[in-house]
Chains A and B, each alone.
Chain A
Amino acid sequence: MTKFMLLQNYSATPACSVPMTDWPPADIKAHIEFQHALNSELAENGELVDAQGLAGPELAKFVISDGASAPVVTDGPFPEVKELLAGYRMIDVESEARAIEIAARASAAPGPGGLPIQQPIEVRQVMGAPAGDL
């Protein structure tokens, strides 16, 4: 089994540039239900390690330190909010092909009018133990 991180950020998607608060309430609920259902399905398959959403960019901070003087802590608002991480799923799956399959499902989450939002999902393999000495 191999672990992958499926990451998503705040970028507008080809199919949906409307912020969620402007969607019809029923479509927001359908989107949330889709995410719950996908997580439950992955958990039941024994493929889910963790799924978390991150608190909004308004609360984000960047920290830089030279190890000696006081660290430089930068508050938002940030010009490149779109690049910030919005949430992630960590999955433990048989193959990269399966990770891509799950990423595709997540990307097609329903948006306004129930249409797939086509959110880009970044698929990154998590590093593991070195290969055995066979």
Chain B
Amino acid sequence: MTSASAGCGPQPDLEDLLRELTPQVLGVTVRRFGDFAAAEDAVQEALVAAAKRWPDEGVPANPRGWLIAVAGRRMTDQLRSEAARRRREEAAALAEPPPAQVSDRDDTLTLLFMCCHPVLTGASAIALTLRAAGGLTTAEIANAFLVPEATMAQRISRAKQRLAASEATFTLPAGPERTQRLRLVLHVLYLIFNEGYVSSVGSDLHRTELSGEAIRLARMAHQALPGDGEVAGLLALMLLTDARRPARADANGELIPLAGQDRTLWDQGLIAEGLALFHEAVAGGAVGEYQLQAAIAAAHDLAASVEETDWPRILGLYGLLEQMTGNPMVALNRAVAAAMAVGPAAGLELLDAVEERLAGHYRLDAVRGHLLEMAGDTEGAIARYQSAASRTTSAPERNYLTVQAARLRAADPR
């Protein structure tokens, strides 16, 4: 799905412009006509028309106005049918008068809240966010999630039906609801980022554009809410993590763990930007889970090697994160940090504490194998690596774990 391989898509500059304008154009159109689902379709059609016409005709002097006008015309065409007009009249009679002036900033934010509405499942929220707020086409989203375009179109259409049925309104939530809803928005952006980041190894390299999209959407959220520490923290986390992507896989897409990565490949520009954002985020005082994760990513990014990493700091940060989230996966990472900071026995002890909650999960076995290897228990490590290899659902991870087991066996034949 990269711009270069899209083939039928517009040039990167034009694509960027269209994606940037999408939330603004949709915001204006929804507020003018009130029907989110129809407005979203109309804006998509306007984007397609622009992608088709602008390369030949040139970008209009006011591209935003052009898109708003074309989307508005689609809406009017659609509303001409009698039934639709009746619906519009009824809706107009019930609707509050539209506010005189709403900033693009608020529109972007409202749109993100709408796309990440609590009535939607995670997968639906992701798809709708990428299309309505991100300006990606259904085909691009389908390609990124390796499903047929018709399947993705249906997922998006059902998400919009669900929003309509739940009478979700295109307004900014206020008060405590807003805090709750913002958490959902950040979680969806985090999921989109991870979807792209984890596929930066393996054969699905074209999906990595999802990470770039998540970063762009997080930047939009940060611009709309510059004072929010968690929004800044999430953006910092994405940048500090994405910085390591060039070193994460070899030419075949096979996984290279942190310890084996060529750190000169890490993107220093992203690291600098991520660090600046991180410091800005934590200056606010209150600390949330994304800021903690960003702090951990920063500690890795600043280290010249695994040995020179500030493991005691990382151990402390994982401890805070585990208290805050109660996530057993965080406990696994904390065990690795403890093994590095204190010694393998300390790490193994922490693993015993989560054994029950993660029984049968391949990552527990993978981490235990690693710590047993550190502790010199070769036989135990081989067994755990093999068990993890047989249970992972990722091909690059299976290959990596299989080689780990074979490497130990070759060094210490039975």
Residues of A within 8 A of B (CB): 20-25, 28-29, 32-33, 36, 39, 51, 53, 55-59
Given contacts A32-B399, A55-B392, A55-B393, contact A21 B409 (CB under 8 A): yes
Asked if B403 contacts A25 (CB within 8 A), the reply is yes
A95 to B254, CA, bound (A): 33
Which residues 241-298 of B have a CB within 8 angstroms of A? Answer: 252-254
Chain A residues contacting B386 (CB-CB under 8 Å) are: 21
Given contacts A21-B402, A28-B399, A29-B403, 9 further A-B contacts (CB under 8 A): A21-B406, A22-B406, A28-B406, A32-B254, A32-B399, A33-B252, A39-B203, A56-B392, A58-B390
Complex-state Cα separation, A55 to B393, whole angstroms: 5
User: Does B47 sit at the interface, judged by CB under 8 A?
Assistant: no
Which residue of chain A lies nearest to B393 when distances are taken between CB atoms in the complex? A55
Q: Which of B359-414 contact A (CB under 8 A)?
A: 382, 385-386, 389-393, 395, 398-399, 402-403, 405-407, 409-410
Given A33-B252, A39-B203, verify A25-B391 contact (CB < 8 Å).
Answer: no
| Chain B: number of interface residues, binned into ranges | 20 to 34
* Bound CA–CA A39/B402 (angstroms): 21
Return chain B residues, CB-CB under 8 Å to A24. Answer: 406, 410
* B residues in contact with A25, CB < 8 Å: 403, 406-407, 410
Residue ID in chain A nearest B392 by CB atoms:
A55
Instruction: List chain A residues, Cβ under 8 A from B403.
Output: 25, 28-29
Instruction: Provide the bound-state CA to CA distance between A105 and B385, in Å.
Output: 30
For residue A1, give the distance in angstroms from its CB to the closest CB of chain B: 19
- With A21-B405, A21-B406, A39-B203 known as contacts, the answer to whether A59 contacts B393 (CB < 8 A) is yes
What distance in Å separates the Cβ of B400 from its nearest Cβ neighbour in chain A? 10
Flag if A32 contacts B407 (CB, 8 Å): no
Dominant secondary structure at the B interface: helix
How distant is B321 from chain A, measured CB to nearest CB, in Å? Answer: 29
A127–B390 CA distance with the chains assembled, in angstroms: 33
The distance from the CB of A30 to the nearest CB of chain B, in whole angstroms, is 11
Q: Which residues of B contact A57 (CB under 8 A)?
A: 390
A18 to B390, CA, bound (A): 16
Most central of A21, A22, A32, A51 by chain B CB within 10 Å: A21
**Distance in angstroms between the alpha carbons of A32 and B398 in the assembled complex:** 11
**10 pairs across A/B with beta carbons < 8 Å?**
A20-B402, A20-B406, A21-B385, A21-B386, A25-B407, A29-B403, A36-B252, A53-B398, A55-B391, A55-B392
Which 8 A-B pairs rank lowest in CB-CB distance, beginning with the nearest?
Answer: A55-B393, A56-B390, A25-B406, A36-B252, A25-B407, A21-B405, A58-B390, A53-B395
In Å, the complex CA distance between A33 and B254 comes to: 9
B405: chain A residues at CB < 8 Å are 21
Give bound CA distance, A36 to B201, whole Å. Answer: 13
- Contact between chains at B253 and A59 (CB < 8 Å): no
Q: How far is the CB of A45 from chain B (nearest CB, A)?
A: 17
Chain A residues contacting B395 (CB-CB under 8 Å) are: 53
Contact call B409/A22, Cβ cutoff below 8 A: yes
Complex CA gap A22/B413 in Å reads 10
In the complex, chain A residues whose CB is within 8 Å of the CB of B399: 28, 32
- CB contacts under 8 Å to A, within B35-93, are none
A85 CB → nearest B CB, Å: 15
Q: Determine how close the nearest CB of chain A comes to the CB of B145; give it in whole angstroms.
A: 14
Q: How far is the CB of A60 from chain B (nearest CB, A)?
A: 11
Which residues of B lie under 8 Å from residue A56 when comparing CB positions? 389-392, 398
Residue interface mask B107-142, A partner, CB < 8 A = 1: 000000000000000000000000000000000000
Residues of A within 8 A of B402 (CB): 20-21, 28
For B395, B405, B406, B407, the residue with the greatest tally of chain A CB atoms inside 10 Å of its CB is B406
Q: Which residues of A contact B393 (CB under 8 A)?
A: 55, 59
A28 to B406, CA, bound (A): 8
